[in-house]
Structure 1
Amino acid sequence: MTSQTPDIPTADQIRRAPKVLLHDHLDGGLRPGTIIDLADATGYTSLPEREPDKLGIWFREAADSGSLERYLETFAHTCAVMQTREALVRVAAECAEDLAEDGVVYAEVRYAPEQHLEKGLTLEEVVEAVNEGFRLGERRARESGHRIRVGALLTAMRHAARALEIAELANRYRDNGVVGFDIAGAEAGFPPTRHLDAFEYLKRENNHFTIHAGEAFGLPSIWQALQWCGADRLGHGVRIIDDIQVAEDGTVTLGRLAAYVRDKRVPLELCPTSNLQTGAAASYAEHPIGLLRSLHFRATVNTDNRLMSGTSMSREFELLTETFGYTLDDMQWFTVNAMKSAFIPFDERLAMISDVIKPGYAELKSEWLFRQTVTTSGSVPKTP
């Protein structure tokens, strides 16, 4: 008799499974070959390597330092080649294509418009170029037999003073490709409360926003993001583990903040590989996602920066299945969590869950049961 619980999925099943991505940086996901092409086209001569394979390795090794500040330095090179309309269109289109090829059916990709103005583009021109690229990538993905929808999150930098301006920009384009707002950059010394005017504006406009919090800095960053700023989601939020105690006998005690995050179903945009690189977790086995999953927090799986982490959504799930023994049911749980937490209207989220995600996982589970039946009986079951 075969088990009715699907086993750990294969790499092929993980790749084909419908996935939802909420935390991915446009300037952290370029193809190494594209960086070299754009550097040649724009006259940028400071790349550390000139061969795609070597350049990809350099980004991963430079980011794998255990320091968020060192990790962020790698973006100087990617942003340097993303200063023209043509470059932004290409990078955004390739982003959508790469995610779709990896089985991502819905993605929210974030970028900071203020970082792409060095060659004379306006903020509006940056947004329109990226939107054009995402739509182009979606069309190309459909032509290749994949489906994906990409929404943009406009990011303001924590250390700068343009958050309100970027929030207003996000609001102007909210019905034209932009689904929300974010702040990013080094947490230490740059609390989200520096940008309260932007968050108050977005709340008045009934708009959505997430805040990078609880990655390199701890519980105060999370508390401020939620209680002072009113964030809808936490970008990373992995340090919520600091408010959870596990006794030697396995008894778990949640502090007031952790209990609030769980009770309120605050989505956590967890990025396992990136968290290891920046020192927020020591190993995959020690990553808080395992405990947060078992405690039923609103945990989601994300890539953060695919280039710097040498990762993809499929790779993240492969690592998690190897580490925690996650099944297709677990993958579906994380994916539905993410889709519930997306910044698009409720009916559209529900349609994605009902029409795309659940049927996709049901098909994969049926494949597994079919293989188990064949393995156990030694023959192919007859169709009725």
Structure 2
Amino acid sequence: MDNETVFYRELPKVELHAHLNGSVSSQTIEKLIGRKPHLNIEHSMTAIGKGQLRTLDECFEVFKVIHKLVDTEEDILMVATDVIKEFAADGVKYLELRSTPREEKDTGLTKRSYIETVINAIQQCKSEGVDIDVRFLVAIDRRNGTEVAMETVKLAEDFMLSSDGLVVGLDLSGDPTVGHGKDLLPALQRAKNSGLKLSLHLSEVPSQLEETDLLLNLPPDRIGHGTFLHPAVGGSQSLVDKVVKNNIPLELCLTSNVKGSTVARYSDHHFKYWYQLGHPSVICTDDKGVFCTDLSQEYHLAASTFGLSRADMWKLSQQAIDCIFAPEAVKQQLKQKWNDLHPQVFK
């Protein structure tokens, strides 16, 4: 490994936007395919390789294939454990995983057992001494409508109280072209009132100004992507003003946006806009398995694309600690960890 690669691998990092099923590595996919040969799924159907571009629709098709491979508690336990260990091996010290609880009639998987299994995986890794603090965001898939959203919020509330601090919030995701945020407002408002933190996918595609405006009024605790918020790409100054006024951090995923064709090239990525504003922005992977990346690569990419120094990238990774959903005491522990690691990263 060259010096740069080593530096970004050793840099302690915070990952706040990682969808569980999209983060499954090729090694784990191979294990899943081996378990379910009757599905006739090939690896090329589950990942988007170097230089390949897909429409957002095609990206969502990839997830459907992965869901077929992950449909039992046993699968989820293996997937979540592998994903957590891979993030840890990549120098991630704090991880918030997110996933939509699913039920599978054929295998007896329920939404409750889905979440319980992810929590088991987190606890198992902790008991094995894996050096990473992991929390979970329960996701609402916007395609499933109002009732399911409310049901998901109630589940998340239960687990927020019973998971010993592991379930910290709620994610709103799914195909951004389906449904309207206004139908989900009551569920999101309820979640917020109950103390769950909100990370919402916003302005992922153009021309959602009205919906974005509505959801920003909640306001959310973090924004996923926010690709089309600023005026230069068809957003508006008033949206930017709301984000800035409420100091809402953005979760930015460079490779995901380029491979998913919502951003034309890395140099056009809105990371630059928010970074120059000095607004809290956290570099994330989105779906490290599907997009064939990891957080070290994303940091390296941001640095080389926008001419940032190692010291700049250290500062970015350290500032990400302030954006996590875990309590203040955890933030203090992480800041201490960063201070302790600084001398060996900049040796």
- The one-letter code of the counterpart of 1:320 is A
- Give the alignment partner of residue 195 of structure 1, picking from 184, 203, 212: 184
Relative distance call for 1:62 and 1:127 in structure 2 (3 A) is: farther
Moved more, 344-353 or 81-90: 344-353
What are the superposed Cα offsets for residues 281-319 of structure 1, whole Å, 9 maximum, x if unpaired?
Answer: 111111111221111111110000011111000010111
Match of 1:378 in 2: none
Q: Does 1:38 align with 2:38?
A: no
Query: Is residue 2:82 matched to residue 1:82?
Result: no
What does residue 342 of structure 2 align with?
Answer: 361
Pairwise CA distance, 1:73:
0.6
Alignment partner of 1:165 is 2:151? yes
Partner of 2:299: 317
Deviation at 1:263, TM superposition (A): 2.9
1-structure distance, mates of 2:232, 2:250? 15
Greater displacement, 90-99 / 232-241: 232-241
In 1, distance between residues paired with 2:37 and 2:108?
16
Q: Is 1:113 matched up with 2:101?
A: yes
- C-alpha RMSD of matched pairs (Å): 2.3
User: Following TM superposition, by how much is the alpha carbon of 1:324 offset from its aligned partner in structure 2, in angstroms?
Assistant: 1.5
Please give the alpha-carbon distance, in whole angstroms, between the structure 2 residues aligned to 1:358 and 1:221. 41
- Aligned-pair distance for 1:224? 2.4
TM-score (norm 1): 0.82
Deviation, 1:158, is 0.5
Q: Which residue of structure 1 lines up, in the alignment, with residue 56 of structure 2?
A: 68
Query: What corresponds to 2:134 in structure 1?
Result: 150
Cα 1:138–1:56, aligned 2, differ >3 Å: closer, same or farther?
A: farther
2:168 aligned with 1:179: yes
1:224 corresponds in structure 2 to: 214
Q: Which residue of 2 aligns with 1:344?
A: 326
Amino acid at match of 2:339: K
1:95 match: 83
Aligned position for 1:290: 272
Instruction: Check if 1:27 corresponds to 2:13.
Output: no
Equivalent residues in 2 for 1:222-301 (5 A)?
Answer: 222-227=212-217, 229-242=218-231, 255-301=237-283
Distance 1:76 1:157, change over 3 A: same
Matched residue, 1:380: none
- Residue aligned with 1:261, SS: helix
Radius of gyration: which is bigger? 1
SS of 2:230's equivalent in the other structure is helix
Instruction: Say if 1:212 and 1:237, in contact at 8 Å, map to a contact too.
Output: yes
Distance 1:309 1:278, change over 3 A: same
CA contact (8 A) 1:244 1:258 kept: no
Give 1:160's aligned amino acid: N
- Aligned residues of 2:17 and 2:286 also touching (Cα < 8 A): yes
Residue matched to 2:5: 11
In structure 2, list runs of 5 or more residues that go unmatched.
Answer: none
In 1: Cα distance, 2:63 partner to 2:38 partner: 14
Following TM superposition, by how much is the alpha carbon of 1:110 offset from its aligned partner in structure 2, in angstroms? 0.5
* Contact 1:272 1:287 survives alignment (8 Å): yes
Equivalent pairs counted in the alignment come to 338
The answer (yes or no) to whether the contact 1:339–1:352 under 8 Å persists in 2 is: yes
The counterpart of 1:209, out of the listed 187, 195, 198, is: 198
Contact 2:173-2:201 within 8 A present in 1 as well:
yes
Q: What SS does structure 1 have at the residue aligned with 2:247?
A: coil
Q: Structure 2 counterpart of 1:21, which letter? A: E
When residues 346 and 44 of structure 1 are mapped into structure 2, their CA distance, relative to the original with a 3 A threshold, is farther
